[in-house]
Amino acid sequence: MSLPLSSDELQLSIKSDLVLRVGKICLAAGTGSYRIKQSMRHVAYMLGVENQAHITLTEINSTCRSGKQFKTEVSNIQGVGINIYNIQLLETLLIEIQARYQHMSESELIRYLDRALANIENQPVLYSPRQSALFAAIACSSFTFLIGGGLIEMLGVLIGSGFGQALRRILLHKHLNQFVVTMLAAAVASSLYFMIIGASYLLLKVNIQHTAGYIASMLFLIPGFPLITGVLDLAKLDFSSGIQRVAYAVAVIFCATFAAWVVAAGIHMAPEAMLSPNLYPVWSACFRLIASFFGVLGFSLLFNSPIKTAFTTAFIGMYANTLRLELIDFTHIPIQAASLIAAFIVGISAFYFSRYNKCPRIALSVPAVCIMVPGIYMFRSMYFVQQNDIISAINWGAQAMLIVLALPLGLVLARVCTDKEWAFNQLPADEQK
């Protein structure tokens, strides 16, 4: 028989529940472990309790203390997703409460937090499945141009990725296993791309020389967000969350690239070298700016970003990604170095634009670098593994790994330059809040 809770225990239980709900919103929205812990600590501080949390990919272990009393709760989420709008809503809520909580009684603060968190938890996604499919199609089609594809290839990718994302959204809504959904969406997207390319060749007699666009048709499946936030967690020495996020991303990439290999093997197709646009340098840079803008815009909207946030992200990614490509073409520096420079520029830009837009930096920085994730390198590594060409597989896999490490490293360097909590493991006593 359980004993009735005392008044202090009941209050601690209510406060602990509110702190845990904040963490669950952050975790379900896909933000990094560091940001989840920071948000939970801020809410706990305003409620007059201390909080310590352990975060993994899908679970939160939260302990709230008040004097000699404490309460530990464990909760989990059912799936891994990305919802930038909820991240932004929670950030706005925390800023508002930070300015008002000292003028509110404890009961008023609890009621206010309860209502505000319920509104965020019940917030529907901003865009319908059709709109989501359109965003994926725009992003992947724009990326096709960046790897040298022409109009026919862009059209094939537009249709293939659109239908693939529509299928993915529908099946995830039915709670089908996420890895199975990834493989099915990859197979549908790449198959439709090949059908359109084949029909163009037979009906229009178009000489298609560049067929690597079928990787671009599946780019919407590459988990750039958890991959980058995972490495950011590792940079903050949060290995439990970071390793799990990276492992999840690798598993999704394996499923997508394996399905792509099966479809490609069925028509006896091997990866080709990426081509550069056959344009004058000035025109090439202009079209790269446009393609990068729409590519990042599509990915940002795919992550459920509000329109204003998505356009700001697209503007940042536009000049950063174009600079990366131009550096590779004209200075011949390694692609890993160019990726690091571009990610650093994205991180610095996100720092200033986040103040103007009043949104968290992660909502601007991570989507802007997702278009730089080397999906083609990853596929080539998988393809050569299946062909038992281990040397080539290691070569492409190592290059992909270095680029993937360079992108969050650039964001980390930008954080270190602009955020004392990232620059120091522990702030000096006179600077701690």
Query: 148-151, long-range: CB within 8 Å, 24+ apart, which pairs?
Result: 148/210, 148/212, 148/274, 148/275, 148/276, 148/277, 149/210, 149/212, 149/213, 149/216, 149/275, 150/210
Domains of the chain, by residue range, sit at 7-121, 132-423
- pLDDT per residue, tens digit, the chain (433 aa), is 344 556 777 888 888 899 999 999 999 998 888 889 989 999 999 988 898 999 988 899 999 988 888 888 888 888 788 899 999 899 888 888 888 877 888 888 888 898 999 999 898 989 999 999 999 999 999 988 887 777 888 888 899 999 999 999 999 888 888 899 999 999 999 889 888 887 877 776 665 555 557 778 888 888 888 888 888 888 888 888 899 999 998 899 888 888 888 887 777 666 665 555 566 677 778 889 999 999 999 999 999 999 999 999 999 999 999 999 888 888 888 888 999 999 999 999 999 888 877 788 888 888 899 888 887 787 778 778 777 888 888 888 898 889 988 988 999 898 888 877 776 765 544 444 4
Give the torsion sign (CA, 379, 295, 83, 186): negative
pTM over 0.85: yes
